[in-house]
Structure 1
């Protein structure tokens, strides 16, 4: 520990072992004498901060403390942990000169519920919203949509009601209300309220029969046709907007769930990044497709800074594994290979990184045929190294039972803390070691055969009439000269075969 190294630079080995009570008291006295003169400070690398405690300059000798050095050190670390819990409101990290500073929490690019945390400002070409008024009305929130829906009908009714009142006023129908010989433009219109009611009856085609237009008013006839046409257009437009807004697949995405955490663990001897996705409804998503993006700022070799740079994370596009049959929850896996942005990232480096992984699930809603998109994201601190998702499927009587209570559960597995690159290099070294060890053994066999072939008088004693003799398991000089010997060097023939 740091305290032991600072107080006892040359302490004996007996301090780390249990000793007698007398020795313990002597050690405590020595420690208190040193701390009385220099002050006690405990630097814990695990805690990440310095805890300073001042002590009195003298310790009464009448009450000796009978505690070991390790117990006292453990007590100080416990006090430091309590102090850490009190000041754990903000995460601390070391600055350039060792000063503690507050670590800024990363702002999400995409929220966990799929909402993109982006606001557009200083837009000068706002007229473009009016060119696509239908989409603009559909994109409005429900409060604004209902307000526009009510005002669209109210304004048209008031507008045409005012025109009907103006026609009656200009023709003098209001001055001949009691004259039975006078033929008005619209019967029983005696004020603005009655004209407004007639406008509502005309546009909604209610037709109560009390207020009707007469054939003595050609201007009224033209206005009636115009209001009927415009009223039909308003009905179609507003009803269409409300229908599209109600049937939007955004609410369907609420039943598509993603796991709270992503995990990194081995799968088939390869380090993989995995997360889980599921569908809570019985109606399926047709043609479901999954993709992932890495959101991280970077600086190019030319010095250009790119904020929130997007990099594709392969989740099976080359093999077709990104096309899902989402009947039961699935674990989506990204193999960390040489093309992965996590190729050089280890567990220690992961804790220091600042990035965000955005996952997007797209598909067609089976009930409505509309395209649905569900989104979620994972920050660097939401990646669990050395974890795996718990199983949640069991076989019941005639069907498969899915326990969504274990959807977000994970458990720890044995996972190396090094990066995928280091794992690949270690595996390559192991394969190379096995290869060279086998080949070296094969090379030893021809050397043994050559030594046996060079033994003196091995071939002359057995030769008859100058004929070459082949010995089992050995090589002759004739074979060495002709170059017919193999690398393993063993020739097994018969006398009859050599003569033949």
Structure 2
């Protein structure tokens, strides 16, 4: 039986590659926005909840410290004393006041007074930082939601590719179609042959990539996917399949990767 070769790109379009022994992991943090967007949904939601909870707790602690250092905790219920925040009598109420401030839902039972300059400064700082956190986290979630990853589920390729004569020329052919009514705008298709190669100097390249011409020079690679289309590659002297015979082809360890690019009409 023929040995089953592990695929380089799986049928669902995901690359079967694991990046191991990455030393400079700090580079992921330099582009933290893309790193967060690329995370799985469960980690993305966890970070989303944690960021807001930590900021609310952090500023709630500061509001409580201001009240404690001013002596507001010692004058709870004293009508002659003007506290920094009215009706703030503990950490829980400071935490709730922090949530009200950052989410701008409006003050009710607890409200800041004009006799507390440090509280006014903290109010400004929390409002600005809260807006930054909202813009960053909501932006991440919006980009995450708007990614059309599932759009590829309705792009269907033929189960098998065939090699046969077409217009008197030997061609490699396969078919692609779109199941949705909303079209792929500016759709284009490319193909790569992934095969091991040994250079004249003796260097072994395990995953050498070679372009497969599917109509680049004639414009046939620009697709209008209203109905299923047959993609054709002419096997001539410039083709990477030129030196592979019919008997040799089943024994070859190679993989053909098809790349369909375009813009989703809905987005």
Bin the TM-score by the shorter chain.
over 0.9
* Matching residue within 270, 273, 277 for 2:169: 270
Q: Give the corresponding residue for 2:206.
A: 307
Q: Counterpart of 1:182? A: 81
> What's the CA shift for 1:224?
0.3
- Deviation digits for residues 148-168 of structure 1, max 9, x if unmatched? 111111010000001001111
Q: CA deviation at 1:344?
A: 2.3
Q: Residue in 2 aligned with 1:159?
A: 58
Q: Displacement of 1:104 after TM fit?
A: 3.3
Alignment correspondent of 2:250: 351
Gaps of 5+ in 2: none
Task: After superposition, give the CA deviation of every residue in 1:455-497 in whole Å (9 maximum; x if it has no partner).
Answer: xxxxxxxxxxxxxxxxxxxxxxxxxxxxxxxxxxxxxxxxxxx
Alignment partner of 1:106 is 2:8: no
- Which stretch of the first structure deviates more once superposed, 204-213 or 316-325? 204-213
1:284 and 2:183 equivalent?
yes
In structure 1, how many angstroms separate the alpha carbons of the residues matched to 2:143 and 2:31?
Answer: 15
CA distance, structure 1, for counterparts of residue 190 and residue 211 of structure 2? 8
For residues 102-142 of structure 1, the C-alpha deviation after alignment (integer angstroms, 9 at most, x for no partner) is x5321100001100011111111111111111111100010
**1:298 to 2:197 alignment:** yes
1:49-60 to 2 correspondences below 5 Å: none
Correspondence 1:212-223 to 2 at 5 A: 212-223=111-122
Tell me the matched-pair count. Answer: 267
Please show how residues 55-454 of structure 1 align to structure 2 within 5 Å: 91=1, 103-368=2-267
Q: Distance in 1 between matches of 2:39 and 2:158?
A: 30
Q: Distance in 2 between matches of 1:180 and 1:155?
A: 34
Residue pairs, 1:451-470, within 5 angstroms: none
> How far apart are 1:270 and its partner, in Å?
1.2
Counting strand residues as a fraction of each chain, which structure ranks higher?
Answer: 2
4+ residue runs over 4 A deviation: none
* SS of aligned partner of 1:251: helix
Normalised by the length of structure 1, the TM-score is 0.53
Q: CA deviation at 1:367?
A: 1.3
Q: Secondary structure at the match of 1:363?
A: strand
Which secondary structure does the structure 1 equivalent of 2:112 belong to? coil
Q: Distance in 1 between matches of 2:230 and 2:46?
A: 44
1:348 aligns to what SS in structure 2?
coil
Q: Rg bigger for which structure?
A: 1
Partner of 1:260: helix, strand, or coil? coil
What is the TM-score normalised by the length of structure 2?
0.98
Where in structure 1 are there 5+ consecutive unaligned residues? 1-90, 92-102, 369-500
